[in-house]
Chain A
Amino acid sequence: MAQRSRKGRSGSKTDQEFVSEAEEILDRMRQDLADLNEERVAGEDVDPDVVNRLFRSAHSLKGLAGLFGFDPIQDLAHRVEDILDGLRLGRVRLALPVVALIDESVHLFASLLEQIGNEDALAAAAEPIGRLAQRIQAAREAPAAKSEFGDLALEPSLLRALTEYEEHRLRENIRRGRHICLIDSTFEIISFEEGLSQLTAAIREVGEVLSTLPAPGEAPEAQIRFSLLVASDTPASEVASRLGLAAGAVRLVQAGAPSSAAAPASPVAARPSGVAEADEEPTGAHHDSGETGGPESLKSISDTVRVDIHKLDELMNLVGELVIQRGAIGELVTRLSADAATARIGSDFAKVHKALDRKLRELQSAVIDVRMVPLSQVFEKVSRVVRRLRVDLGKDVRLELRGADTELDKLIVEELVDPLMHVVRNALDHAIEPREERIAGGKDPEGRIRIEAFQRGNHVVIAVSDDGRGIDTAALRALAEAKGIVQPGDVLSEREALDLAFEPGISTRSEVTETSGRGVGMDVVHTNLTALGGVVEVESTPGRGTTISMTLPITLAIIQSLIVVVAGQRFAIPLNAVHETLLIDGSEIQRSEGRELLNLRGEALPLRRLAAEFDLPAAPPDAKPFVVVIGLGEARMGLLVDRLEGQQDTVIKPIQGPIPTVRGIAGATELGDQEPVLVLDVSALLADLGRRREVL
């Protein structure tokens, strides 16, 4: 293990962050490299996606290393990026040596990571890096068509058709100095299998059939031609006579060496012959990490465990099931206590149940806690992008980050990166004015973008604010009218007008820029956040700036739900979206434009009848309805239901079947008994509130 001496770097936290992030990138690269190698073994075309991913990984690693000042890693990453670029553009052929080189680099990266903090060891790594870099350079410059078999008198197309194993056998036979020849033969289609097996058996007498390939070109009617690649100790002319074939049917591809121990033809051939077995790990080959501190240690460097998020999901589901079972036990306790005959045992049982309940809650929060990661990783990514864009766009912008230690479910953080990045880019590209314009407007010449994260109840709010030009609602409206989203006569509140920014195809800048502004974007932000059960809201003052707030649930796992009953059917409403419940009299419901409203402490609360939304029978008109006030972020609405049934722990499960997604339904849950209960999708209900204008 590397010694942890620090020279000129303060604290180990930064290093640890680097190592952790770099390890993640390397993990991804290993995975992609394995995919790439599989494709190569299967003889498939290079999947551009995999190569592009690898390329991006190398690029990220380079950027990351540069950011943290690890020059050796940056250098090597640069080389790897080069060769991947070649691969991407088809300048470099996907072959074993190339895969092996990238693999060696990944190994070297891994061993370099172990040396982080040990400057001497890092400096000493310059030499193996240099050597590897040279080999990468050489591989890059090799002309694409010229493979390791380039010297053979074989057409490249035929070489390409060889399988991995056949290639290996060819290589092996060349190494052993045997004669390689190509035998052409034509068979009747109806009996070719028989003829081919006879010929193959005959060839086996004199040598080895390396590959049987269909010969191209038109064969005579009802006939098929094959080319057999054969290795033999017997010279080609003799092979023909031994097989009773015309001399012209056997073509010499490469004459064998007179002595059997021929010199290796290429560096690849010099590898131990076991390297290229059919489905090999090319990584089995040696790598040059010896000089950088022994073979790659199996010990992980940082004291964190990386766990597949799906395993955590499983754990979470199990805890969820336990929580539901606990509910069933609770019911038994109540029944036992209610009966005088069993009241004593009932009260003992109740104590045990309570203890179980407490431990279960601890387990639940511990499992949830495992999934939580601070936002700092995302913030780090964002600030890197801002630093780069600032230069590209030539804008003076100061980025302020607050609340980087706010924690969110890992899965949500992953999904958050793209929308957040988009909002920040938008701010940088569109909102912040050019320097001259800012000076003319009497503003600080340097623009400011602030990202602030904080927890609010069961939600985390991430607000991106800028002090730019603000959103021009008039322009927004004109665009929306042009697209037919609103009609010229429609009266929109200020909020509704701003919300137009989230409609598909709306962008406030007419010209398209590289960074953003293709008219896609804010609607994608809206869609992504809604999918996570969150909301996005915008506030803007012309000339002063814009704030975009994203509100997200802390976790998607176990949630408390309010169980409501409509037309005899139970529904679950996530409690984090429930603000209050009211019992009202039917006469309190008011109407405006055909929409139902409730005066809630002076505010107009839009109402929706759940029965009507879901085509269920309506309650009798004299029944007093319950109003469940639901809301996310700033938006509020009241749902009219027949009855409330209390709170329950619920695990939202996806619905499987031909119609897995139903608007307004987030999934289903079980409540101890067998009957599933549908969980309402509060963000969808809120979104529909603004969109659907028909009278219910």
Chain B
Amino acid sequence: MSASLAETGAAAPRWQDLARRAAERRSAEVESVVVRQLLTFVLDASPYAVPVERVREIVRVRPITPVPRVPNDVCGVISLRGEILEVIDLRLRLRLRAAQSGRASRIIVAHSADGGVAGLLVDGVSEVLAVPENALRPAAATEAGNIETLCVRGDRFISLIDLDRVLGFDAQR
């Protein structure tokens, strides 16, 4: 064995790979009972959701200052306890019919994996659901790619928003 030991550098990741695979095997068995917490909300009468752990807070609709020279689904900025946050009109972002915000409308302040924060304007917030991981189905790939996963709930599907996509700066827009 000593002759080939000089290649430990190459072997080390192998060990990590093995360990990771072993860990994955173990967690895969447990994960069938793992549940995910989803915040569900309504857009154009259909249910949508974001993971609860990505939601910082939910606020009532407040005055939104329009910002020039941005895509039309960025409806402007709000001031939230001294922070200036952009608000995205999720209806427009998902190419649904535009609508005035009503009494039930809320702004969901959510963050992406890399910590970027923004507000999402929705028609109304419904509830927090605990769903088993195995109730999640990959969504059909669309051009916009804003929906990551579908969650089966009885005979209804809830669309999970891909927050990293929606909150990330997307040059192709």
Contact = CB atoms under 8 A, between A and B. Distances in A.
B65 A668 contact: yes
B15 A214 contact: yes
A547 B64 CA distance: 46
A657 B167 CA distance: 7
Nearest to B71: A659
Interface string B129-140: 000000000000
Contact of A216 (B7, B69, B82, B166): B7
Contacts of B1: 184, 215-217, 225, 227
Which of B68, B116, B117, B168 counts the most chain A CB atoms within 10 A? Answer: B68
Interface stretch (B33-41, B42-50, B84-92, B149-157): B84-92
A69 interface: no
A656 B116 contact: yes
A224 interface: yes
B77 A157 contact: no
A196 to B, nearest CB: 11
A656 B85 contact: yes
B86 A214 contact: no
Interface string B1-21: 110111111111011001000
Contacts of A227: 1
Nearest to A657: B86
Contacts of A690: none
B63 A155 contact: no
Contact of B86 (A155, A615, A653, A659): A659
A155 B2 contact: yes
Contact-size category for A? 35 or more
Contacts of B85: 655-657
A158 B5 contact: yes
Contact of B116 (A224, A569, A658): A658
Contacts of B11: 214-217
Contacts of B2: 155
A188 to B, nearest CB: 12
Contacts of A678: 65, 67-68, 77
Contact of B5 (A155, A193, A613): A155
Q: Is the interface of B mostly helix, strand, loop or mixed?
A: mixed
B9 A157 contact: yes
B168 A658 contact: yes
Given A157-B9, A668-B84, A670-B79, A657 B117 contact: yes
B32 to A, nearest CB: 21
Contacts of B10: 216
A663 B69 contact: yes
Contacts of B167: 657-658
Given A189-B18, A662-B68, A216 B4 contact: yes
Contacts of A654: 84
A616 interface: yes
B8 A216 contact: yes
B46 to A, nearest CB: 23
Most buried by A among B7, B62, B66, B67: B67
A436 interface: no
Interface in B49-107: 62-63, 65-71, 74, 77-79, 82-88
Interface in A596-634: 613-616
A664 interface: yes
A658 B77 contact: no
B25 to A, nearest CB: 10
Contacts of A225: 1
B112 to A, nearest CB: 9
Contacts of B169: 658-660
A676 B22 contact: no
Given A657-B116, A658-B170, A614 B65 contact: no
6 contacts: A155-B6, A615-B69, A653-B84, A656-B116, A668-B84, A670-B82
Given A158-B8, A676-B78, 16 more contacts: A184-B1, A193-B22, A216-B5, A216-B6, A216-B10, A217-B4, A569-B66, A656-B117, A657-B118, A657-B167, A658-B88, A662-B70, A670-B82, A676-B65, A676-B79, A678-B65
